[in-house]
Structure 1
């Protein structure tokens, strides 16, 4: 049956035109198709268009507009605010468009708009090639990249969007546009941080880099030693080579073999060191951290694709996150960060994270709308829990973390790390000097603000 406000004939005609499927409430698979990463989001779209081709995407956009349906675009479905769903609207679901084609000679990957990091990383692995990806294998490559793209390899290879070679985009009128350094250059600039404001990315092309070996070192400490550990980590990172990534993370001790029984299910302070190289090289570089008295360690050389899925959260968890980018990390900031760990939900999937930037992330093109890229540190309170009873407590903890580090914050923010926090935070994410330029691009490609379920840039 056609949803309210839509004729049966219109829905039938749309279904006949699609190569993929169009699901409505009551259809088999509808509830599964509308589930997103954040279990706090429970929305019921009128139609879910499971697109298989670029033509399907164009048809879905036109159908949505003709029937006055709000349009949501779904790639990985990882938006903490549930931006890939619309109550009563149409979802342009790209997940069937996940093909990744590797050209090892040119070191480039053509990535379908619905591909996740796992699709990309497992396609590049046989060639010993990689590019900067997100820190979870289930993240969608398209939204991640167009929002900037911060990950373990950013200090070595730059942000994901620094490696963006081309984008194939279906715009608000259903037409297809190709953007690159040589074609539609202003749009290409806007796609380096402006996210999904300008159309639906049906494919992106990314530059790849040689990565014959990847290593990781995970050190666990009891939480009372956190301030000492974080000071040592800060000093270590500030002189570390660009091959080093990782972070300092308070989390719940996992039930793994290397974790002492008395730390399983309890608060621990973890130092994760990722290294673009061999285990022996990683051990030498990380010697100052290995000398600290730690309660547990796991050290391994492993495929990058395996590292990418080590911190994946299980599906069905409730999520709330945010971030603050810092100009400095003095001892007072370290103490404030560590103290807030005592109020996080434990046991849970919550992670109290401090990531270093620097290296190629900071040295990349300064003209892109990414004002946060020069920050040396980011605090990322990543709340995730199981019970709805913890919702208010979890949200308050995230807000408290932000307030604690406010004295050292520069106000810039990576929009992929936050939900809907208001127009001011969107401006902070792209930079006040860039916003008007982005709004002009928006006016050219989406003058009616059809694509507004995002960190929205309103058309000029």
Structure 2
């Protein structure tokens, strides 16, 4: 088969007979630039990404994925793979190549007896949660319901119940996938175990996963969860309290520190909208009576300006951040892991939080540890199980206006944290180059991943990702 060598900006001239044959062979739809649905389906979640593929293969199943991969290789087309389209740097779409769009693949089959679920690659987090919560079960995964389960899982998968039940990949039992030659393979701890190791954190470098099998855990329907906010000027005191409060907290408690301007939402008092605030959003994956006791110090510290931490359905809590990350807004992210919340780091957080201008820029400081840290570091490709916290700094705007300033604020915040950097979560990277990808995995895992890339994708067909080059 041909090796994809065409650059992103070279004109694409396709054999229209071959295109027609592919369109006939697919159970799903094949969309080109002249189709009425093209504009809709080329767009991705991050509005700052504006790319025009030559073809979009909207796959209805694994056979469609195989056919699309073979066509792309035969015709020397760059390949982008789209699940939920949430890739921060826009890897879900490309100029002049083929988008292999998995979003029509929506099957979810829950087996409550074995507490497992089989999930197709186009499923979104909220869609999965609705199916599993019907049985009082959940997969540890994410915090925004329109995130695609595929990309989230393949990078590791951090979310509200990970400290109790582990990362999303720690609950992955097997995958069905299409490799670079268009073949379908299975991978698990007992079949193609090296490939299974790689996809648990190695992203989309090794093929296109078409189906996931997850282990489920009892949860809900209600959890004690939500944010408590204080004025931003109290950030140093809040963070020092927070540091002590979580020092010996149970695994059931997961928290995310948030800095932003208070959003214009019905639950936010009018006089608070637009003010700089710092919050601690919590979720307790255990009995409500235990949660009330554990969360009482948070809810009674100082004088909060807003307390939304109450018992609520898990599905409601999972959608809490949805209004802050709407489709089509302009997004830019910088990220890093840190070991601990030192006084110097706290001072930096307080300083840069007060500089937020955009109503939709924010930071999320994720608490790590618990079950995540107890998994053997060598078990999966994911790196960073010993991290204390993970920063995700969002320099965002609703339109292009002001976007450059927000991006510079995010970069400056990240740079100020440089003395504290201890790694980075691969799913939070932008298009930052090979060295940053290496940092995300560490030298030993990166070397092992490169060797597996040479075995499974020696021509680097799957390169639009946080790429591990076979070279």
Determine if the TM-score, normalized by the shorter chain, exceeds 0.5: yes
Q: 1:280 to 1:22 in 2, by over 3 A?
A: same
| Residues in 1 aligned to 2:349 and 2:447: alpha-carbon distance in whole angstroms | 35
What residue is the counterpart of 1:372 in the other structure? 384
What residue is the counterpart of 1:229 in the other structure? 238
| Residues in 2 aligned to 1:246 and 1:382: alpha-carbon distance in whole angstroms | 18
| Residues in 2 aligned to 1:8 and 1:356: alpha-carbon distance in whole angstroms | 52
- Please list the CA deviations of residues 283-309 of structure 1 after superposition, one character each: whole Å capped at 9, or x if unmatched: 210121122111111133222222111
* Aligned residue-pair number: 456
Q: How many angstroms does 1:240 deviate by? A: 1.1
| Residues in 1 aligned to 2:131 and 2:210: alpha-carbon distance in whole angstroms | 18
TM-score scaled by length of structure 1: 0.97
Contact 1:197 1:452 in 2 (8 A): yes
Structure 1 runs (4+) deviating above 4 angstroms are: none
| Residues in 2 aligned to 1:365 and 1:176: alpha-carbon distance in whole angstroms | 29
Q: How many angstroms does 1:4 deviate by? A: 4.2
Q: Which moved more, 1:273-282 or 1:227-236?
A: 273-282
**Does structure 1 residue 342 correspond to structure 2 residue 350?**
no
What residue is the counterpart of 1:284 in the other structure? 293
What residue is the counterpart of 1:164 in the other structure? 172
Q: How many angstroms does 1:378 deviate by? A: 1.6
- Please list the CA deviations of residues 146-199 of structure 1 after superposition, one character each: whole Å capped at 9, or x if unmatched: 111111111011011111100111001100010000000110111111000000
Gaps of 5+ in 2: 1-10
Contact 1:134 1:149 in 2 (8 A): yes
What residue is the counterpart of 1:219 in the other structure? 228
Partner-residue secondary structure (3-state), 1:127: coil
Q: Residue 7 of structure 1 is aligned with which of 15, 25, 28?
A: 15
- Please list the CA deviations of residues 257-307 of structure 1 after superposition, one character each: whole Å capped at 9, or x if unmatched: 443322112221111111113443322101211221111111332222221
| Residues in 1 aligned to 2:427 and 2:402: alpha-carbon distance in whole angstroms | 23
- Please list the CA deviations of residues 119-149 of structure 1 after superposition, one character each: whole Å capped at 9, or x if unmatched: 1111100111012111111111111111111
- Please list the CA deviations of residues 396-435 of structure 1 after superposition, one character each: whole Å capped at 9, or x if unmatched: 111111111111221x111101111111110111111111
> For residues 33-432 of structure 1, what are the structure 2 equivalents within 5 Å?
33-212=41-220, 213-292=222-301, 293-312=303-322, 313-347=325-359, 349-367=360-378, 368-410=380-422, 412-432=423-443
Contact 1:328 1:377 in 2 (8 A): yes
| Residues in 1 aligned to 2:134 and 2:104: alpha-carbon distance in whole angstroms | 23
Contact 2:282 2:309 in 1 (8 A): no
Q: Residue 462 of structure 2 is aligned with which of 448, 451, 457?
A: 451
**Does structure 1 residue 32 correspond to structure 2 residue 40?**
yes
| Residues in 1 aligned to 2:453 and 2:101: alpha-carbon distance in whole angstroms | 22
Q: Which moved more, 1:61-70 or 1:3-12?
A: 3-12
Gaps of 5+ in 1: none
- Please list the CA deviations of residues 18-73 of structure 1 after superposition, one character each: whole Å capped at 9, or x if unmatched: 00010001201111101101000000000000000111000001111111110110
| Residues in 2 aligned to 1:175 and 1:254: alpha-carbon distance in whole angstroms | 48
What residue is the counterpart of 2:450 in the other structure? 439
Q: Which moved more, 1:78-87 or 1:273-282?
A: 273-282
| Residues in 2 aligned to 1:364 and 1:34: alpha-carbon distance in whole angstroms | 39
TM-score scaled by length of structure 2: 0.94
| Residues in 2 aligned to 1:303 and 1:197: alpha-carbon distance in whole angstroms | 36
Q: 1:351 to 1:279 in 2, by over 3 A?
A: farther
Partner-residue secondary structure (3-state), 1:343: coil
Contact 2:281 2:309 in 1 (8 A): no
| Residues in 1 aligned to 2:178 and 2:424: alpha-carbon distance in whole angstroms | 27
